Amino acid sequence: MKNPQENSGIKSIPLFRVETGKVENVSLLQLTEEEWQARLTPLQYDVARRKGTEYAFSGKYHATKETGIYRCACCGTDLFTSGEKFDSGTGWPSFSAPVSPLNIRTQADRSGGMIRIEVLCSRCAAHLGHVFDDGPPPSGKRYCMNSATLDLKKTG
């Protein structure tokens, strides 16, 4: 018995959902550049689809301490929770770990004359920011994100 989603040509991937605590299969979200431009604000489009960076201390979440789930502003995938958010002093929202390694993917970014690790949304491939090795224990990671590509669902 074939999965009907395979027949339709839309690939689905396993993603972790914080509210259910379960891994669920979700179809990839693949839109054209025109569709993304129509759906996103100019800043969201620049960051998510053109790998831009918002100005430090300019985003809405760099100092946020509210309890909730930070979702992808492009496709709604759960990415981080307030429990992993910490004050990095950089002016960008910073997290020590994603909700699950399933929900993000990383790749080398050689732009700007340096090698950094770029972080992308697994479902829609939005550029989210970069991950660095100077975060707090136990992970030692600092996920340096752009507020523009996050959408906080408050749960507190």
Nearest alpha-carbon partner for 147 in 50, 36, 62, 37: 62
40 lines the binding site for Zn ion (CB under 5 A):
no
The total of other beta-carbon atoms located within 10 Å of residue 106's CB is 16
Nearest alpha-carbon partner for 153 in 44, 88, 86, 72: 72
The total of other beta-carbon atoms located within 10 Å of residue 32's CB is 8
- Min separation Cβ 74 and Zn ion, Å: 4
As given in the structure block, the two tokens for residue 96 are: 């020590």
**CA 143 to chain CA centroid, nearest Å:** 9
- Min separation Cβ 12 and Zn ion, Å: 14
Enumerate residues 124-143 that contact Zn ion by CB under 5 A.
124, 126
- Min separation Cβ 30 and Zn ion, Å: 11
Of 47, 75, 131, 150, the one binding Zn ion (CB under 5 A) is 75
121 lines the binding site for Zn ion (CB under 5 A):
yes
Of 18, 40, 47, 74, the one binding Zn ion (CB under 5 A) is 74
Q: Which residues are catalytic?
A: 144
Residues that bind Zn ion (CB under 5 A): 72, 74-75, 77, 121, 123-124, 126
